[in-house]
Amino acid sequence: MTETLNAEKLKEALQGLPLGRIYFFEETDSTNEQGLEIAARGAEELTLLVAERQTAGRGRLGRKWVTAPGASLAFSLILKPSKAEISHLSLFSLLGGLAVCRAIENYAQIATQVKWPNDVLLNGMKTAGILAESCWQGEQLAGVVMGIGINLLPGSAPPAGEVLYPATCLQDHTPVKVERLSFLRAVLAQLIVLRQQIMDENFIQEYTRRLAFVNQPVTLNSGQGDSWSGVVLGVQADGQLRLRLADGTEASFPIGELRLRPEG
């Protein structure tokens, strides 16, 4: 039987975490959309928005994200970066993926990988996606809305025909009973701790340890018809992906709108 979420259960499960206001939606368009609106009005640090259903859940460039009520987790956390953090803003895109990896590893004792920049893979299949969007008001950054969608229970991963990359859910990879609220707590706790380490060398090292397709050929597509092929070498301190191109030169690619695919 699937456990439904509600505001009380959510607050109880997250007790003790240093969160701001917690919003729960039975149904909303997208927790990122709502988060951007709340951030623009002036949100508390670590305001959390959780939805059971999203009618317009999104990935990058307006692509669709599928949330299965009762089986997925869909939430957004509003972070208000300090001046020092703003100079490392690109790393915020990696933070969510790494926090989900750590949470899965601790919860289920299984290995995870990140498909650059921030898709979480289990056994080569996508189990979580992260969409970090900034809310700018002129020159001022009102907040970063870190949206996280995770396939946890059976029925949450869309079938092959509906996604452009094979998808899976956590429960299919572990005998440990996955429970949505305790898993949400685990991810948020990791995010809060990891954020404090975002400017340390260890942060990128830890990310790189989980980087998928190292030494393997991949293609990056821009979505506007441009593409680059090469072998993955790693990531730079600012999160850019390093590739060895066919002509033997090295090139780095910024986190943004590039989509990565393994070759073959």
Single residue of 48, 66, 146, 212 touching ligand ATP by CB under 6 A: 66
Single residue of 5, 23, 32, 116 touching ligand BTN by CB under 6 A: 32
In contact, 126 and 156? CB cutoff 8 Å: no
In contact, 61 and 18? CB cutoff 8 Å: no
Query: Which range, of 13-21, 29-37, 106-114, 216-224, touches ligand BTN by CB under 6 A?
Result: 29-37
Torsion angle in degrees (nearest 10) through CA of 217, 167, 58, 84: -60
Neighbour count for residue 137 (Cβ, 10 Å): 11
Query: Which range, of 70-78, 102-110, 174-182, 187-195, touches ligand BTN by CB under 6 A?
Result: 70-78
How many whole angstroms separate alpha carbon 194 and alpha carbon 83?
18
Q: Report the residue number, 52 or 119, with the smaller CB distance to ligand BTN.
A: 119
63 binds ligand ATP (CB under 6 A): yes
Residue 253 is given by DSSP the state: E
167 binds ligand ATP (CB under 6 A): yes
CB of 67 to ligand ATP, least distance (A): 7
In contact, 257 and 61? CB cutoff 8 Å: yes
Interaction partner, residue 54 (ligand BTN, ligand ATP, none; CB < 5-8 Å by kind): ligand BTN
How many whole angstroms separate alpha carbon 122 and alpha carbon 26?
28
Give the residue carrying structure tokens 């869309």. Answer: 158
In contact, 44 and 35? CB cutoff 8 Å: no
Task: Kindly tell me the burial class for residue 218, based on how many C-beta atoms sit within 10 Å of its own C-beta (0-12, 13-18, 19 or more).
Answer: buried
100 binds ligand BTN (CB under 6 A): no
Q: Report the residue number, 138 or 161, with the smaller CB distance to ligand BTN.
A: 161
Alpha carbon of 15 to those of 18, 174, 188: distances in Å?
Answer: 8, 26, 12
CB of 139 to ligand ATP, least distance (A): 27
Distance separating the N- and C-terminal Cα atoms of the chain? 40
CB of 264 to ligand BTN, least distance (A): 22
76 binds ligand BTN (CB under 6 A): yes
- Shortest Cβ contact with ligand BTN: which residue? 129
Cα of 1 vs its chain's centroid, Å? 27
**Residues binding ligand ATP: what is the number (CB under 6 A)?**
18
Q: What are phi and psi of 121, to 5 degrees?
A: -110, 140
Residues 113-142 that bind ligand ATP (CB under 6 A): 119, 126, 129
Interaction partner, residue 143 (ligand ATP, ligand BTN, none; CB < 5-8 Å by kind): none
CB of 200 to ligand BTN, least distance (A): 25
80 binds ligand ATP (CB under 6 A): no
Contact footprint for ligand ATP (CB under 6 A): 59-60, 63-66, 119, 126, 129, 149, 151, 157-158, 163-165, 167, 259
